[in-house]
Structure 1
Amino acid sequence: MNVESSESLPARIATALAEQIIRGTLKPGDRVRQETVATEFNASHVPVREAFRRLEARGLLVSRERKGVYVPLLDQASIVEITRMRAALEVLALRYAIPNLTQNDIALAEAAINEADGCQDISAWEEANRNFHSSLYRPCNMPRLLANIDALHEARLRYMYATATMVEWEAKSAEEHSALLDAIRARDVEAACALLEKHIDDAGEILVAAVGALQP
């Protein structure tokens, strides 16, 4: 999950609230009150407002004029947007990373597949999933691109937690990850990029359907 690197009070407040929003402790549609957060962190309203601003920029809070600050609702359009952006950016990262991938990077990706296979909950599985993707993208050596990819995974993670009881990701992802890794070992850039794009698109379609089933 993407977290603030700074140890400042606004950063710590933003990190704590982001965790609550992503895991569903703060539910879609909940109002987040400045006064409550300020009391919880023994802080003035200034760092709380800054934390809110950072979370709004990350899409984890939304401000309604004269009505306060709320956790955004889960919506299918957001998943479509996140999926399209992921497909574009992650394929770009992979394309530039493959020439630089070492045997150690590939071993880390393989270890992440095995790690995911033994996970018992969505939190542990998603961490292994991110380790797999990160090990393949990191050698692209494009820090801004990687930061944007991390932000998209954070935005997606809220939907993963909300639909965790409805979707079984393990077997499908393990098979697709293994096929992707085979193409990478063969240094077949076009095949690897095509497999990654389909992997991301298929996952997005599954999330869209799952969120649709959540709607009353």
Structure 2
Amino acid sequence: MTDIQDKKSDQIARALCEKIIRGELQPGEKLRQIAVSREYGVSHATVREAMLQLAAQGLTIVLPRRGMCVAPLDRNAADELKVMRQALEPVALAHSIPNLTKAQIAKADKIRLACDAAESALDWEEANRMFHMAIISGCAMPRLTEEISNLQLLYARHFLAKHASNWKRRSDPDHLAIILAIKDRDTHRATAVLHRHLARLS
């Protein structure tokens, strides 16, 4: 596969991923390679690579001799994702805080305000994901941050399926408490708040 094909497959994977997260592609819905290829104007090889990326992320499942379909939503899987995030995100935050610049902290705080101002579950979830990645942006552990990013992505799907239709604007005091602890360079306090925050995920 060429670099151009690889970049296109990444783009297709991201586009399909967003459709799955938003519920535009429903659990159990088949992903037809020919239809995706026509929709995005790319080769079957590019679509196949994109679909394999989705399967590796846990967003799709392979159906023997029948292609792929969107993975089902499973309450046990959501609970597992929460436990994994509780285990990994505080570790990343602890390694991030000493390295965060004032500009990075200011950016995280700006995202926090966008989160509080979100008028829809979709907008809130996107800003929330950005906030959680912003506070660990000083963690010089790319494998760890990549794994956390994928866990957040998978959890977003469960969150939106549950809250998209009954959203009410809200502010999150935990986000503010985390930012204040980061500004104080208080790693223990920041990670404790984050762990408590993740334990309350619904």
TM superposition shift of 1:184: 2.4
| 3-state secondary structure, aligned to 2:98 | helix
Structure 1 residues 6 and 146 mapped into 2: Cα distance closer, same or farther (>3 Å)?
A: farther
CA distance 1:11–1:102, change in 2 (3 Å): closer
Question: Does the 8 A contact of 2:5 with 2:46 survive in 1?
Answer: no
- Match runs of 1:1-216 below 5 Å: 8-163=7-162, 164-166=164-166, 168=168, 170-171=170-171, 174-203=172-201, 206=202
Q: Which amino acid aligns with 1:122?
A: A
Equivalents in 1 of 2:35, 2:67: separation in Å?
Answer: 13
Q: Is the 8 Å Cα contact of residues 61 and 71 (structure 2) preserved in structure 1?
A: yes
Q: C-alpha deviations, 1:17-40, integer Å up to 9, x for none?
A: 112111111101111122222332
Shift of 1:119: 1.6
Q: Are the structure 2 counterparts of residues 169 and 96 from structure 1 closer, same or farther at C-alpha, using a change threshold of 3 Å?
A: farther
**Please, what TM-score do these two structures have when normalized by structure 1?**
0.82
Aligned equivalent of 1:210: none
CA distance in 1: counterparts of 2:5 and 2:32, whole angstroms = 23
Q: Distance in 2 between matches of 1:153 and 1:98?
A: 20
User: 1:212 — aligned with what?
Assistant: none
- The alpha-carbon deviation at position 169 of structure 1 amounts to 7.2
Instruction: Name the SS for the 1:120 alignment partner.
Output: coil
Per-residue Cα deviation, 1:78-122 (whole angstroms, up to 9, x for no partner): 112211221122111111111222332322222222222222122
Distance 1:51-1:110 versus aligned 2 partners, 3 A rule: closer
Q: CA deviation at 1:56?
A: 0.4
Residue 198 of structure 1 and its aligned partner are, at CA, apart by: 1.2
Q: Distance in 1 between matches of 2:8 and 2:97?
A: 39
| 2:37 and 2:47 in contact (8 A); partners too | yes
CA contact (8 A) 2:120 2:169 kept: no
In structure 1, runs of 5+ residues without a counterpart are: 207-216
3-state SS, counterpart of residue 52 of structure 1 = helix
Task: Say whether the 8 Å CA contact 2:73–2:158 is kept in structure 1.
Answer: yes
Cα RMSD, aligned residues only: 2.2
The separation in 2 between residues aligned to 1:19 and 1:12, in whole angstroms, is 11
**Does structure 1 retain, via aligned residues, the 8 Å contact 2:119–2:168?**
no
Letter in 2 for 1:202: R
